[in-house]
């Protein structure tokens, strides 16, 4: 986790609860404060008899989600990891945008239909899909791939060989968990649902198929292929590209038409594909502090590239100081770095008020 995030979170006041969550969303799109997710985990080594029950109670979940959480001991941990992953990736991808995925003002954003809202929904569901699949392959969950075959013990299905892959399981579970099987009530709900699905699709499209031959003498007469999750950074980069090319759809509520079809109209002329991010209204500038964001005052920028857009034409302060940093490092693959200390003059640019 970047050090800046810690500082930021420390300064972040607890968000006020915006009433009981109506939607069954979770993670970055949950209406509750997220600050406790980013604190270091304390779960390992707990002496509690069934520690996951307590963790499920601590998470901001609806009643149905809590029930699902209690049934699966590894889920609470995976959900927490998903939120952490989502926040880190969101802030990394938008580090040089005016809205840098600051958690402050997230509640107000979620009530509207901006591009940023779309990104929050997509990144959140992508992170959930990714970390659920990862928790499955890490052996942290008890009900994973073999859960799909109803009316059959998991052990039987496993031995017979009809268990699916982790990703299919996590997608299906997620759709159940987020409670979004049927279309939403209004346009906003539909847009949110669309963006959530776009997040899941982004993870799926990043899958890489790898094969291994193991026929007679290792020939390719018999071949087994499997799908491999790409690192979440890649998914984040894909979603960032989708965010930059998000499609605006007409805001008129169209209750007569159900499902995704009602998203068929857009200003850009092309109808949004299921992998596109869609939004309803143009974003505010995010330049000044508002209920959506803390503004760009005091943001660090790069003079050549980002300062103009980031500071909204207000100009920037230049600060020059001597910085000590590690250099000529010799790094081993894990955990061990031998560095020298170098000193360099460094200019920092921050946006003016």
Partner 1 sequence: MSSDLSTLSLRKREEKDMADRHSWILDSRECHKLHCAAPKPTTSADFLAVKCVDIRKGNHGAPKWLIPWGRDRCASIRGFEEAASQEIYANDIVFSVHIPFQGQEMSPWFQFMLIILQLDIAFKLNNYIEDNAIVTLDVAMAYRDELSDPWTELARSVEQRKLQCAFHAPKTADNQGRSYECDVLPLIELGSVAHKYYLVNIRLPVHNVKKINMGIGEINDLHLVTIFQNGGFTKVWFAMKTFLTPSILIIMIWYWRRITMMTRSPVLLEKIIFALGISMTFINLPVEWFSIGFNWTWMLLFGDIRQGLFYVMLLSFWIIFCGEHMMDQSERNRISVYWKQVVPIAFGSCCLFIFDMCERGVQLKNPFYSIWTTDVGAELAMAFIIVAGICACLYFLFLCFMVYQVFRNISGKQSSLPAMSKARRLHYEGLIFRFKFLMIITLACAALTTVFFITTQVSEGNWKWGEYNIELNSAFFTGIYGMWNLYVFALMFLYAPSHKNYGDDQTNGGAAVSSAEELQLTTTITHADGPTELYRLAGKEAQE
Q: Using CB under 8 A as the criterion, which residues of the chain lie in contact with partner 1 when the complex forms?
A: 1, 41, 44-45, 134, 136-146, 149, 151-152, 154-163, 165-166, 208, 210, 212, 214, 216-218, 220-226, 228, 230-231, 233-234, 329, 331-337
* Distance, CA of 154 to CA of 242 (rounded, Å): 38
Q: Which is nearer to partner 1, 206 or 295 (CB)?
A: 206
Residues in the chain: 353
In contact, 136 and 169? CB cutoff 8 Å: yes
**Residues 6+ away with beta carbon under 8 Å from 255:** 186
* Distance, CA of 73 to CA of 81 (rounded, Å): 14
Q: Which is nearer to partner 1, 114 or 349 (CB)?
A: 349
* Min dist. Cβ of residue 145 to partner 1 (A): 8
* Min dist. Cβ of residue 147 to partner 1 (A): 10
* Min dist. Cβ of residue 231 to partner 1 (A): 4
Q: Which is nearer to partner 1, 14 or 335 (CB)?
A: 335
* Min dist. Cβ of residue 196 to partner 1 (A): 25
Q: Which is nearer to partner 1, 256 or 335 (CB)?
A: 335
* Min dist. Cβ of residue 152 to partner 1 (A): 6
Q: What share of the chain is helix, strand, coil (3-state, %, to 5)?
A: 40, 15, 45
Q: Which is nearer to partner 1, 1 or 268 (CB)?
A: 1
In contact, 168 and 136? CB cutoff 8 Å: no
Place of tokens 């031995």: 159
**Residue ranges in 138-276 assigned as alpha helix (H):** 154-160, 166-177, 187-205, 232-244
In contact, 166 and 137? CB cutoff 8 Å: yes
Structure tokens at 144: 């994973």
Q: Which is nearer to partner 1, 58 or 220 (CB)?
A: 220
* Min dist. Cβ of residue 163 to partner 1 (A): 7
* Min dist. Cβ of residue 252 to partner 1 (A): 38
Q: Which is nearer to partner 1, 142 or 244 (CB)?
A: 142
Structure tokens at 263: 């998203």
Cα-based distances in Å from 109 to 82, 104, 112: 20, 10, 5
Residue 11: CB atoms within 10 Å: 9
Q: Which is nearer to partner 1, 8 or 158 (CB)?
A: 158
* Min dist. Cβ of residue 126 to partner 1 (A): 16
Place of tokens 């974003």: 283
Q: Which is nearer to partner 1, 144 or 191 (CB)?
A: 144
Strands 316-331 and 278-279: unpaired
Render 93-136 in DSSP notation, one character per residue. HTTTSSS---STTHHHHHHS--HHHHHHHHHHHHHHHHHHHHHH
Cα-based distances in Å from 176 to 111, 114, 182, 190: 23, 26, 10, 16
Structure tokens at 42: 């304390």
* Min dist. Cβ of residue 245 to partner 1 (A): 20
């Amino acid at each position: 986790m970047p050090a800046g995030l810690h500082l930021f979170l420390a300064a972040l006041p607890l968000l006020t609860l915006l009433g009981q969550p109506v939607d069954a969303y979770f993670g970055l799109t949950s209406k509750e404060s997220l600050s406790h997710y980013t604190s270091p985990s304390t779960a390992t080594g707990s002496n509690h008899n069934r520690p996951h029950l307590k963790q499920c109670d601590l998470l901001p979940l609806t009643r149905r989600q809590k029930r699902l959480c209690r049934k699966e001991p590894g889920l609470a941990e995976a959900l927490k990891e998903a939120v952490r992953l989502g926040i880190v990736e969101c802030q990394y991808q938008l580090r040089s945008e005016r809205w840098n995925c600051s958690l402050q003002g997230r509640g107000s954003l979620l009530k509207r239909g901006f591009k940023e809202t779309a990104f929050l929904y997509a990144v959140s569901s992508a992170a959930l899909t990714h970390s659920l699949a990862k928790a499955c392959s890490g052996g942290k969950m008890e009900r994973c791939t073999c859960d799909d075959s109803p009316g059959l013990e998991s052990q039987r299905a496993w031995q017979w060989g009809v268990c699916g892959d982790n990703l299919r399981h996590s997608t299906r579970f997620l759709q159940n968990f987020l409670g979004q099987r049927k279309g939403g009530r209004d346009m906003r709900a539909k847009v949110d649902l669309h963006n959530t699905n776009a997040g899941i699709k982004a993870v799926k499209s990043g899958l890489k198929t790898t094969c291994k031959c193991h026929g007679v003498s290792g020939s390719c007469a018999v071949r087994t292929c499997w799908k491999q999750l790409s690192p979440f950074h890649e998914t984040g980069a894909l979603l960032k590209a989708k965010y930059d090319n998000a499609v605006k759809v007409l805001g008129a509520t169209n209750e007569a038409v159900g499902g995704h079809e009602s998203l068929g109209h857009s200003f850009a002329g092309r109808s949004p594909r299921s992998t596109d991010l869609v939004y309803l209204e143009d974003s505010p500038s995010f330049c000044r502090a508002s209920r959506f964001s803390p503004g760009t005052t005091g943001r660090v920028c790069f003079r050549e590239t980002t300062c103009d857009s980031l500071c909204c034409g207000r100009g920037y302060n230049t600060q020059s100081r001597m910085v000590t940093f590690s250099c000529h490092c010799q790094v081993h693959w894990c955990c061990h770095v031998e560095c020298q200390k170098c000193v360099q003059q460094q200019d920092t640019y921050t946006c003016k008020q």
